Amino acid sequence: TKNILNIDWEKGLSSAIIDKILDITFHSIFLVAGIAMFLTFGNFPEFWIFGLAIASIFVLVIALTLFYSRAIGKKSIILLVLNLFGLEKTKVKSTKNGEFLFNTEGNVLRFFSPKKMFFWKGVVISFFRHLLFYTRAFLIVLFIVGVFSPLKSLAVHGLANLSMMLPLPAGLGGLEAVSSFGFKALEFGFENGTVFGMTWRSADLMICILGIIFGVKIAFKLFKLKTFNFIDKIKK
């Protein structure tokens, strides 16, 4: 964004943070809804697994509540962290990195203004993004199992979201294990759950390949810009 769109580091980082916060928000909403649907139709085999799921949801909800309460009230989160560690705002902000952090946070806090239309545009776009993720889960379940069940598909989608929170490198094996367990509990068939996980990852892989193609095109464009700049410096 800095080189192609001429957007400075502060605004570029701010947009990435805003996107991630909105993503986590609706990830959590669909996660809670999915787990609620799963508990309606199925059961966790072990109590500790149920406890882990509830604890994960609890941590997410508390973190998001803390963020939105301070963001909407335009209260600095960095300042809260500094106070916890006994650091002074003036000393941190006087440094180049400290000023950068506070300016970036200011951009993020200005976005989360319920009175502004751009905030609700971001919310709607993020919601539809996650609605598409749910639609993908629904279509995969419909294709594999041959059952039209929007609520059970929501439960499967919730479990898939839960698997993304497992501390595994790239989530390897987590999605397949959780979806297989969920399919079995929902009477969709254990083996179908494995197929669901593999199909889900295949769809993600196709999107990644598309991103790589655009990434390569942008990389060539940046390379040409760097080369021309280097030649201009030599000429001067």
pTM: 0.82
Across residues 120-149, what is the average pLDDT?
A: 93
Tens-digit pLDDT profile for residues 50-73: 787 888 889 888 999 989 998 888
Identify the CA nearest to 111 among candidates 129, 99, 125. 125
| Higher-scoring residue by pLDDT: 42, 157 | 157
Across residues 22-42, what is the average pLDDT?
A: 90
Percent of the chain exceeding pLDDT 70 equals 97
What is the spatial distance between Cα 80 and Cα 57, in angstroms, rounded to a whole number?
23
The one-character DSSP state at 73 is T
